[in-house]
Amino acid sequence: MSSEQSKRSGSSAPSAIVSVLRDDGTLDPAHDPGMSDDEVKFLYRHLVQTRQLDERFVALQRQGRIGFHVGSLGEEAAILGSAFAMRKQDWLFPCYREFGAALMRGLPLQTLCDNMFGNANDTVKGRQMPCHYTCKAVGWASISSPVGTQITHAVGAAWAAKIRRDDAASLVYFGDGATSSSDFHSGLNFAGVFHLPVVFLCRNNGWAISVPVERQTATHTFAEKAVAYGIPGVRVDGNDVFAVVSVTRRAIERGMRGEGPTLIEAITYRMGGHSTSDDPNRYRESEAVQAWAARDPIERVRSYLVQRGAWSDADDKALRADIDARFREAVAVAEKTPPPALESMFDDVYAKVPWHLAEQRAELVAGPRAPSPHG
């Protein structure tokens, strides 16, 4: 790329990490997103809710009441900060750790719990794994497990918005492992060529399941990969919610001016396992976890609010009690709700069910049932 091309595209090989929240609790004015105390408290409540629900869902899985959970322990600021920066009309394309952002955008807690149990009220009718929900009403695309496929989905939505001249952008979440997928290349290349309003948010959390970052790429950073596509790459402290809000807002503003996409590398750490099916103690040392625990993104926000006199221990206690009560109620309802009707497996495939499927459905409904393993 010539120097003139680099100048026009705004691309460079970034190395500096954008941060806002200083150790003394003040904010760097160079990147301060200008959030009010009420906005910060709103974010803090959702950060705490995300952490608390993570713990509760893991407990449910260990008790055998749900089959699976993918947590976001330690990555909450990168997820919720970026979602907070998006506008109501924008679409978010999740990976599978972002349930906290979906709740913040308006996904009902009951809907989330219904999906975790795969019951009759599950929006995907029990056909997906737990943690694979969708909510069109809040601009939340369906979650799919294959690595990186959501990247091209987000680009397609942004392209459609540009063609229709809609005032809408896309934010897509993915981990460092997804940068090795073909969808990463296809998505960034296409978005760069057509100057689409997409924010590519890579959560560099140190691990792609059990594969460390150094086995994932030979580049010094993930953000520098943006240079190859002629777009800006930004590195941000993913445990600093103020910094994440700031860089995401700037990326959206850039996209809506017609200047194209931005790749954000949010540097954070996966404090827990990849999922409830994973034991991270088999492949990583506890010392690294302890070091990152000292930079807990939620505690940093709490300290900021307390220092400003905007939060107290009593507020914290009341918040946690409210979250727990609402969660227990939602789980109780979800567990009492029956599973999806067996014949529903034939729905949502054809506008008009063909004769052979109609016959199979009738045979299924009339046929014998195997005894339930749950009594």
Active site residue 274: yes
Q: Which of 8, 127, 283, 328 is catalytic?
A: 283
pLDDT at 260: 97
Q: Which of 97, 203, 270, 300 is catalytic?
A: 270
Q: Which of 97, 132, 249, 274 is catalytic?
A: 274
204: left (phi over 0), alpha (psi -120 to 50) or beta: beta
| Domains of the chain, start order | 3-340 (3.40.50.970), 342-375 (no CATH)
- Tell me the helices (H) and strands (E) count for the chain, helix number first: 12, 8
**How far is 274 from 272, CA to CA, in rounded Å?**
7
Per-10-residue mean pLDDT, the chain, length 375: 40 79 95 98 98 97 95 96 98 95 97 96 90 93 91 98 97 96 97 98 94 92 97 98 98 97 97 90 86 93 97 98 98 96 90 94 88 60
The first and second tokens of residue 15, run together, are: 């190395």
What is the enclosing helix (H) or strand (E) of 255?
Answer: helix 241-256
The string of DSSP codes covering 126-194 is T-S-TT---BGGGTBPPP--STTHHHHHHHHHHHHHHHHT-S--EEEEEEGGGGGSHHHHHHHHHHHHT
Active site residue 96: no
Predicted TM-score (pTM) of the model is 0.92
245: left (phi over 0), alpha (psi -120 to 50) or beta: alpha
pLDDT at 320: 98
Active site residue 328: no
